[in-house]
Homo-oligomer: A and B are copies of this chain.
Amino acid sequence: MLAAERREHLLGLLAREGKIVAKDVAAELGISEDSVRRDLRDLAADGLCQRVYGGALPASPAVVDYAARQGVAPDGKRKVAAVAAALVPPGGTLILDGGTTALAVARALPQDLACTVITHSPTIAAALLDHPQAELFLLGGRIFKHSAVACGAAAVEAAQQVSADLCLLGVTGVHPEAGLTTADAEEAAMKRALAARAADTYILASSEKIGTASRFRVLPWEKVSGLITDADPHDAVVEQLKALGVEVLPAD
């Protein structure tokens, strides 16, 4: 049995039965109580359960799947998402792109933040269904499966009917000269259409995107308000971007 698998098992057990007794689980899985305790300690440290004498209880239910799913997102994306989520003003309107980093943003939106989220990603929409305060507006169109977002003429047209305070875009390449790029022309067009409908546009760029470029240009630097990244602020490329006048919001 894999360690990570065991962790999953514990979370499942917690969700199903509402509690965990360390001793029982250890016997059930045929491992030492020490390992169970260690796992529970780790889970509790991540906020995924509440440690109690003899075992563990679920953290507040909302927190559980929030944090559990949060857990699957790489650390860098989580940090970027947290900074991005903090940019959303209470009562404001946010256009949220698709992609895993944007998904992390959706999950990072505080549960008590009342706002309107506009998205062309069914995945993002589904993730925000259980947000208690967020108003949701879905942009329809043909779904591009590889990126799981609506693109194409219908989607662009739908985008033109909305306006927002803030647009958060994910891209696959962030390069001083090439600008912001992505791998698909339709997606690039869609991202442009979204950015055009918001007062401010910020780019979500986990560190591995920095300094790379893809086939299609999304936007030039002039059109974006800033870049949110977990890359080292003294990284050479990041410094170059700053020199170009790009506002860089560090995430860590």
Is A143 an interface residue, CB under 8 A from the partner?
yes
Is A141 an interface residue, CB under 8 A from the partner?
yes
Is A140 an interface residue, CB under 8 A from the partner?
yes
Residues of B within 8 A of A4 (CB): 50, 52-54, 57
Residues of B within 8 A of A21 (CB): 2
The answer to whether A139 and B136 have CB atoms under 8 Å apart is no
Is A138 an interface residue, CB under 8 A from the partner?
yes
Contact mask for chain A residues 135-173; partner B; CB cutoff 8 A; 1 contact, 0 none: 111111111010010100011001001000000000000
Minimum CB–CB distance from A1 to chain B (whole Å) comes to: 9
Is A122 an interface residue, CB under 8 A from the partner?
yes
Q: Give the distance in Å from the alpha carbon of A145 to the alpha carbon of B136 in the complex.
A: 8
Given contacts A61-B69, A140-B139, A142-B137, whether A3 and B154 have CB atoms under 8 Å apart is: no
The answer to whether A137 and B137 have CB atoms under 8 Å apart is no
The answer to whether A2 and B138 have CB atoms under 8 Å apart is no
Q: Of B2, B52, B100, B138, which contacts A140 at CB under 8 A?
A: B138
Minimum CB–CB distance from A155 to chain B (whole Å) comes to: 8
Is A123 an interface residue, CB under 8 A from the partner?
yes
Is A211 an interface residue, CB under 8 A from the partner?
no
Q: Give the distance in Å from the alpha carbon of A137 to the alpha carbon of B155 in the complex.
A: 10
- Specify the chain B residue showing the minimal Cβ separation from A136: B143
Residues of B within 8 A of A126 (CB): 122-123, 126, 148
- Specify the chain B residue showing the minimal Cβ separation from A154: B161
Between A72, A100, A120, the greatest number of chain B beta carbons within 10 A of the residue's beta carbon is seen for A72
A–B Cβ pairs within 8 angstroms, 14 of them: A2-B54, A3-B53, A4-B50, A47-B100, A60-B72, A61-B69, A61-B72, A122-B126, A129-B143, A129-B148, A136-B142, A137-B143, A138-B150, A139-B140
Q: Of B68, B122, B137, which contacts A125 at CB under 8 A?
A: B122
**Extra 11 A-B pairs, beta carbons < 8 Å, given A4-B50, A50-B72, A129-B143:** A2-B19, A2-B52, A2-B55, A47-B100, A61-B69, A129-B145, A137-B140, A137-B142, A138-B143, A139-B140, A140-B150
